Structure 1
Amino acid sequence: MSTAMRKTTGTTKTPLARRLAAAAVALGSCLALAGPATSAGAAPADPVPTVFFGDSYTSNYGIAPLNHEGEARYFCFQAKENYPAVATRRLKDKGVTLDVQSDVSCGGALAHHFWEKQELPFNLGDLPPQQDALKPDTQLAVGSMGGNTVGFNRILKQCSDKLRGEEGILLPGTPVDEDTPAAKCREFFESGDGKEWLDDRFEQVGWNLEELLERIQYFAPAAKPVLVGYPRLVPADTTKCLTAAPGQTELPFADIPQDALPVLDGIQKRLDDVIKKAAADAGADFVDLYAATGANTACDGADRGIGGLLETSQVELLGTKLPWYAHPNEKGRDLQARHVADKAGEVLNR
């Protein structure tokens, strides 16, 4: 990517940016020194000011009822019982109380919506950058970002004729290349233009997450960032995806060819690795949901933690139930919450 393009995405490090980051680190150190002393391994005595951010996997699209303030935020499809809410309760049961300053997670958010406004569908206006929720006293910042930036919705549409039609009309985005048949999506992503497109997307995700973590450090110097990965969608044994889940008629991945499923899994594993590296490079913490949810994929029948592509979710729009589009169901949400609570507890008890 050219220097000009990197400036456009906000990822170029200028001397000023470095000085601001250094100042933020120094301020964070001062705040930490000025704060109340806690013994090693002891739970924080006071409620921990916390901000949750992220996309539809944090807002838990597909789970009802919705939590919204006004007409605009309705289209974030943020569940009242999303994993931030459930994880907060789990932590309280363990003696760790979070003071949730805000949960700004919103369906459709790309990583750069952490510092840029997010345009909502149906001309309902814009949401402010998610970083605006951070406060000088925020001590914990937790969320999932990157899936929309890598374009997983467009990847799914590249591989499915059904999602290219009316059944996918509510899933944002278009196929990466509409002229390439869905049946050839494995070949498309493994070579030529499709592979080049993927490489570019992953590079962008890496830059954006680097920027996101720097901004958390700058706007909330005392905050401990926790990046949350995405739960695994496709099992190692893809033959399990050739059987519909109990009570369902559609296959978990609808008409996506079986030979494309390992490609989807490989893309998701690569995303997991990019997020993990961004966290490690910034000294942040990471919740590896991909590694922890291999037995709860969309193809694991009654044990599935992911709703099938066209399986009916709990959310209605204009009287019509929306599909899950491969998002966590309640079982999957609870798995997210458990692992996030465990990591947050570990971070706060250091």
Structure 2
Amino acid sequence: MSAPPSARRRTAAALAALAGVSALLGPAAARAEDLAARYVALGDSFTAGPFIPHQYGDPALCLRSRGNYPNLVAEALGAAEFVDASCAGAESRHMTEPQTLALDTAPPQFDALTPDTTLVTVGIGGNDLGFGEIVLKCLAVSVTDLTGDPCRDHYTDPRGRDELAQRIPETGEAVGEVLAGIRERSPGATVAVVGYLELLPSEKGCLQVPYATGDIPYLYGVWEDLNAVIEKEAAEAGAVFVDASGPGHDMCAPRSERWVEGIFPTRPAAPVHPNADGMAEVGDRVLASLGVRAGSPLA
């Protein structure tokens, strides 16, 4: 099964860059082979790629795609051994606990880690924050005040405390524990922590994102805070942080420029999730974070 054309083009470019580096640097490029000896991908649906062609793997309801960024990175690096343990709906606790699905159970994702693992990518934290709940709740309350900020009101208690703001540091702690667990199980691995793609514009919504006007900047701020705490935990753990942000490619972007689909997807992807182009972009950024770029050796 093949990846989408745009993904194949990006992967081909990365392969060409890596091949060029190998030809120019000779023995120095052997580090690429060392890095790719055993690659394990961990994460939630933003890693797995639900409904992006072609779906594969067991359990099927983990909704992993051949076109997700781990598969693209594995192909570009020429990984000798590759395990995609990501699963839609995963929280940080599912690194060490089984994940119950509708018709099956996914094993703890850390089961894929071994002492000889050389590269780990991980994208986690969104479901710890309550991603699905937030998407649905903010959509439901938007009809009560289309020009206000009913979602912010919902998550603010009578004392003015923001529940989502309180969840952010808790999510950071959970991510930090995940990174410590990776280091314990795969001490020699390079670890790349992948942030979340930009879901919303910073100020104004659109038909694809039918949230109340005042909640657009509020939710954008929540996304910023989530990525910031993930980046902080990555730095403290000595891991690489892969910044997936980029204005102009959110759910409100033109269809051809969109990396994340809206409430009603126009391309194969889950609602409010990355499409094939988004996955290809994240794959490119992971490769760049590892030093795979034209004219540059692996860092």
Q: Normalization by structure 1: what TM-score?
A: 0.69
Q: Is the 1:76–1:107 contact (alpha carbons within 8 Å) kept by the matching residues of 2? A: yes
How far off its partner does 1:208 sit? 1.0
2:281 corresponds to 1:335: yes
Classify 1:39/1:274 alpha carbon distance in 2 versus 1 (closer, same or farther; 3 Å). Answer: farther
Q: Which residue identity lines up with residue 96 of structure 2 in the other structure?
A: W
Percent identical: 31
2:28 corresponds to 1:44: no
What SS does the corresponding residue of 1:51 show, helix, strand or coil? strand
Q: Is the 1:88–1:341 contact (alpha carbons within 8 Å) kept by the matching residues of 2? A: no
Counterpart selection for 2:117 from 109, 128, 138: 138
| C-alpha distance after superposition, 1:330-350 (max 9, x if no partner) | 111111111011113369823
Q: Is the 1:309–1:325 contact (alpha carbons within 8 Å) kept by the matching residues of 2? A: yes
Write out aligned runs for 1:1-350 (5 A). 43-46=31-34, 47-69=36-58, 73-91=59-77, 97-121=78-102, 124-161=103-140, 184-189=150-155, 192=158, 195-238=161-204, 241-242=205-206, 251-253=207-209, 255-290=210-245, 293-301=246-254, 302-314=256-268, 324-345=270-291, 349-350=298-299
Classify 1:68/1:42 alpha carbon distance in 2 versus 1 (closer, same or farther; 3 Å). Answer: closer
Q: Is the 1:159–1:183 contact (alpha carbons within 8 Å) kept by the matching residues of 2? A: no
Question: For the residues of structure 2 that align with 1:199 and 1:344, how far apart are their CA atoms?
Answer: 32
How far off its partner does 1:281 sit? 0.7
Which of 303-312 and 270-279 deviates more?
303-312
RMSD between aligned residues: 2.6
Q: Is the 1:62–1:327 contact (alpha carbons within 8 Å) kept by the matching residues of 2? A: no
How far off its partner does 1:66 sit? 0.6
Classify 1:105/1:156 alpha carbon distance in 2 versus 1 (closer, same or farther; 3 Å). Answer: same
Classify 1:194/1:213 alpha carbon distance in 2 versus 1 (closer, same or farther; 3 Å). Answer: farther
Q: Which residue identity lines up with residue 65 of structure 1 in the other structure?
A: H
What SS does the corresponding residue of 1:135 show, helix, strand or coil? coil
Larger Rg: 1
Q: Which residue identity lines up with residue 172 of structure 2 in the other structure?
A: G
Which consecutive unaligned segments of at least 5 residues does structure 1 have?
A: 1-37, 92-96, 165-181, 243-250, 316-323
How far off its partner does 1:262 sit? 0.8
Q: Which residue identity lines up with residue 201 of structure 2 in the other structure?
A: P
Which of 44-53 and 57-66 deviates more?
44-53
What SS does the corresponding residue of 1:278 show, helix, strand or coil? helix
How far off its partner does 1:88 sit? 2.3
Q: Normalization by structure 2: what TM-score?
A: 0.80
How far off its partner does 1:101 sit? 3.3
Classify 1:44/1:313 alpha carbon distance in 2 versus 1 (closer, same or farther; 3 Å). Answer: closer
How far off its partner does 1:206 sit? 1.4
Q: Which residue identity lines up with residue 269 of structure 1 in the other structure?
A: E
Question: For the residues of structure 2 that align with 1:163 and 1:141, how far apart are their CA atoms?
Answer: 39
Question: For the residues of structure 2 that align with 1:115 and 1:43, how far apart are their CA atoms?
Answer: 30
Which consecutive unaligned segments of at least 5 residues does structure 2 have?
A: 1-25
What SS does the corresponding residue of 1:314 show, helix, strand or coil? coil
What SS does the corresponding residue of 1:226 show, helix, strand or coil? strand
Question: For the residues of structure 1 that align with 2:223 and 2:137, how far apart are their CA atoms?
Answer: 15
Structure number with the bigger relative contact order (C-alpha 8 A, sep ≥ 6) is 2
Q: Which residue identity lines up with residue 154 of structure 2 in the other structure?
A: F
Q: After the TM superposition, which parts of structure 1 deviate over 4 Å for at least 4 consecutive aligned residues?
A: 38-42, 190-196
Q: Which residue identity lines up with residue 44 of structure 1 in the other structure?
A: A
